[in-house]
Chain A
Amino acid sequence: KAGVTQTPRYLIKTRGQQVTLSCSPISGHRSVSWYQQTPGQGLQFLFEYFSETQRNKGNFPGRFSGRQFSNSRSEMNVSTLELGDSALYLCASSLFGGSQAVNSPLHFGNGTRLTVT
């Protein structure tokens, strides 16, 4: 069974640009969550999508957005990139999400390493 797949693995962008990251969940998983990992702040929750609807949102500015498609695949977009957005962006999938996320642990992909110069 294939795991969570994230593309691309590495990205280098310039300040002010925008970027789109992609995530394919484990087959059968319907919830996708996004996390940002940095040395200073650790792992921080961005948002969760379940059944194409955003269910939870972390404390990040509106420049960070996402969406989920009918096949459960998800994309995350960051607009007007800042140097501080350099991080490892991790996608995690689980069977269920939102209020149905009981006994449904997160399984992570290997992330997209974003560098903003």
Chain B
Amino acid sequence: GQQLNQSPQSMFIQEGEDVSMNCTSSSIFNTWLWYKQDPGEGPVLLIALYKAGELTSNGRLTAQFGITRKDSFLNISASIPSDVGIYFCAGSTNTGNQFYFGTGTSLTVIP
């Protein structure tokens, strides 16, 4: 199946710092989605990207759809303790809802 490389695997940062994580694919994607998952809960949609080069913000979060259509990144500015969790990227190569997920980035924010 499709391989989505997500990095870094984990991050430990001080409160107030900015965070950056990214995903790369071996295939061209038509859609990139970013999710956050807390323990015991399902993934929550953060940002959806549908066009190459698209840059979209959601509060302190900003994500971009790479122009090669094989990568995407997520930035979190001025991190706060509630940003703790696992962040996943997901990409789709077709117009259906079959998405391939990255392996996740575990974020720890130290107060």
| Chain A interface residues (CB < 8 Å from chain B) | 4, 31, 33, 35, 42-45, 48, 50, 55-56, 58-59, 90, 92, 94, 97-111
Q: Does the CB pair B43–A108 fall under 8 Å?
A: yes
Q: Does the CB pair A55–B42 fall under 8 Å?
A: no
User: Which of A44, A48, A56, A100 gathers the greatest number of chain B CB atoms within 10 Å?
Assistant: A56
Chosen A-B contacts, 19 in total, with CB atoms closer than 8 Å, are A4-B42, A33-B99, A35-B101, A43-B43, A43-B88, A48-B96, A55-B96, A55-B97, A56-B96, A59-B1, A98-B96, A98-B97, A99-B95, A102-B95, A103-B50, A104-B97, A106-B97, A107-B45, A108-B42
Q: Does the CB pair B96–A97 fall under 8 Å?
A: yes
Q: Does the CB pair B100–A45 fall under 8 Å?
A: yes
B44 interface residue (CB < 8 Å to A): yes
B111 interface residue (CB < 8 Å to A): no
Query: Inside 8 A of A43's CB, which chain B residues have their CB?
Result: 43, 88, 90, 101
Q: Does the CB pair B33–A106 fall under 8 Å?
A: yes
Q: In the complex, what distance in Å separates the CA atom of A100 from the CA atom of B97?
A: 10
Q: In the complex, what distance in Å separates the CA atom of A105 from the CA atom of B35?
A: 11
Q: Which of B12-41 contact A (CB under 8 A)?
A: 31, 33, 35, 40-41
Q: In the complex, what distance in Å separates the CA atom of A50 from the CA atom of B95?
A: 13
Q: Does the CB pair B42–A90 fall under 8 Å?
A: yes
Q: Nearest-CB distance from B92 to chain A (Å)? A: 8
